[in-house]
Amino acid sequence: MLRILLNLLVIVSVTTADALPNTKLLNDGNRIPIVAYGTFGKTNEVAIIKPAVIKAIEAGYRHIDTAAVYKNEEQVGEAIADVISRGIVKREDLWITTKLGLDVGTREGVLTSLQTSLNKLKLDYVDLYLIHTSLNLLDLPEHDYLNVWKGMEDIKKMNLARSIGISNFNSSEINRILANSEIVPSVNEIEVNPNYVDLGLVAYCQSLNITVMSYAPFGFLVPRPYLNYTTSLNFENPVLKRIAQKYGKTSSQVMLRYLMDRDTIPIPRSTNEERMKLNFDILDFNLTENEIYQINELNEDAKVYDFYDESFFTALADYYGL
Ligand SMILES: NC(=O)c1ccc[n+]([C@@H]2O[C@H](COP(=O)([O-])OP(=O)(O)OC[C@H]3O[C@@H](n4cnc5c(N)ncnc54)[C@H](OP(=O)(O)O)[C@@H]3O)[C@@H](O)[C@H]2O)c1
């Protein structure tokens, strides 16, 4: 009898957890909101981030994506403090993702970097802490992402981050982590959009139950002034338009829904209140499998953020003031 009651209790609790709206279960048991609000922008314009994050949370976003390198964690922290103090949300309603500084290449450096971020964010813990990249972009004398991952495991055990993950890791780098670590990353944050659909890496992550967060969701359909690439895609593309008309949505909303229906978490960024709301208004429709295939076919294998290209990183760093 007791066993039956216990089983019932488990079923009820699993069902309740699954019913939590607009969240997705991670491989560590935490539930992550399925749309994130992106905050990357020019570092000399960080003042716009506080009001933008406040508006985003008021519009319904519960997941904020920042990073040490964006130099806006203080503004994000002020926005969080503001919405909590006004009773709009409680801390536990929010999911805050931030990323390790690019200046950390060792296990020991992780805790210090996270503590700096926590101070700026005015938080006791973050919900998700990511290694920003596997690459040694700053030519540090000591750098191994595997050692850095051990530091990530340390801070998870200290409960300073509820979940830990990686960003911009390819499949062989993920494999090296899996072969040599205790904790499987919960998330890989990578570029996915109709210009760069990355079927292989998304599938590899998903086969390992690593959730994909899709950054730069609008690809080259929005201006990327520091790059020389011209895409044949735009918001008037007939495939995007046809699907948008069918659901009474815009092409931009279809692009975000496409990422959700591939079971990834899109991270749109907009500081414009109208577009911010539009980008969140994607929870009431679904694409068919065939519509997903049609958008996959738009792929040009063109990445906005190609960190392997040194000249790209220089141009990006100059433009954004990194
Ligand atoms: N982990 C990483 O290495 C990494 C790398 C890049 C980005 N990210 C994350 O991903 C987020 C998104 O990437 P992103 O900032 O490159 O690009 P994005 O969200 O693909 O595009 C942002 C641009 O699109 C415009 N926009 C937004 N919504 C629109 C809409 N509905 N219609 C037309 N234009 C629209 C925005 O202008 P307005 O503001 O004027 O609307 C802005 O110029 C970042 O903010 C960051 O949090 C992570």
Per-residue pLDDT tens digits for 202-229: 999 999 999 999 999 999 999 999 998 9
In-domain check, residue 49: yes
- Answer whether residue 9 shows pLDDT above 70: no
279 lines ligand 1 (CB under 6 A): yes
How many other β-carbons are positioned within 10 Å of the β-carbon of residue 322?
15
Average pLDDT, the chain: 94
How many other β-carbons are positioned within 10 Å of the β-carbon of residue 61?
23
Sign (positive or negative) of CA dihedral 19, 20, 22, 25: negative
The tokens 């905050």 sit on which residue? 39
Residue 222 alpha carbon to ligand 1 centre in Å: 8
216 lines ligand 1 (CB under 6 A): yes
How many other β-carbons are positioned within 10 Å of the β-carbon of residue 166?
27
Q: In sequence order, what are the residues at sequence separation of 6 or more whose Cβ sits closer than 8 angstroms to the Cβ of residue 201?
A: 170, 171, 188, 190
Domain carrying residue 190: 24-315
Angle (CA) 153-188-225 rounded to 5° is 130
- Answer whether residue 13 shows pLDDT above 50: no
Which pLDDT value is given to residue 21? Answer: 85
Which residue of 267, 282, 304, 320 sits with most ligand 1 atoms within 8 Å of its CB, as the best mutation to test the pocket? 267
Please report the DSSP string for 120-171 in residue order: HHT-S-EEEEEE--SS-TT--SS--HHHHHHHHHHHHHTTSEEEEEEES--H
Cα separation, 189 vs 199, whole angstroms: 14
Q: Which atom of ligand 1 is nearest to the CA of 278?
A: 31
pLDDT tens-digit profile of 222-266?
999 999 899 999 999 999 999 999 999 999 999 999 999 999 999
Confidence of residue 310 (pLDDT cuts 50, 70, 90): confident
In-domain check, residue 121: yes
In-domain check, residue 97: yes
218 lines ligand 1 (CB under 6 A): yes
Cα separation, 265 vs 253, whole angstroms: 13
Which pLDDT value is given to residue 248? Answer: 98
**CATH number of the domain bearing residue 254:** 3.20.20.100
Which pLDDT value is given to residue 202? Answer: 98
As given in the structure block, the two tokens for residue 214 are 């899709």
Read off the pLDDT of each residue in 140-152 and give the average, rounded to a whole number. 98
Beta strands in the chain (DSSP E): 23-25, 31-33, 37-38, 63-65, 95-99, 126-131, 161-167, 187-191, 211-215, 265-266
194 lines ligand 1 (CB under 6 A): no
Contacts 24+ apart (CB under 8 A), 176-179: 176/146, 177/145, 177/146, 177/149, 178/208
- Answer whether residue 16 shows pLDDT above 80: no
Residues 65 and 32: beta-carbon distance below 8 Å? no
Q: Which atom of ligand 1 is nearest to the CA of 270?
A: 39
| Bridge partner list, 272 | none
In-domain check, residue 239: yes
Catalytic one among 70, 145, 204, 305?
70
How many other β-carbons are positioned within 10 Å of the β-carbon of residue 21?
7
In-domain check, residue 14: no
Residue 253: DSSP 8-state: H
In-domain check, residue 12: no
In-domain check, residue 36: yes
Active-site residue flag, 215 = no
- Nearest protein CA to atom 8 of ligand 1, as residue: 215
Total number of domains constituting the chain: 1
| Bridge partner list, 24 | 32
Angle (CA) 222-225-229 rounded to 5° is 75
121 lines ligand 1 (CB under 6 A): no
Read off the pLDDT of each residue in 105-113 and give the average, rounded to a whole number. 98
Which residue of 218, 277, 308 sits with most ligand 1 atoms within 8 Å of its CB, as the best mutation to test the pocket? 218
What predicted TM-score, i.e. pTM, was given to this entire model? 0.95
Read off the pLDDT of each residue in 136-147 and give the average, rounded to a whole number. 97
Residue 271 alpha carbon to ligand 1 centre in Å: 9
Which pLDDT value is given to residue 11? Answer: 43
In-domain check, residue 297: yes
Which residue of 269, 274, 276, 280 sits with most ligand 1 atoms within 8 Å of its CB, as the best mutation to test the pocket? 269
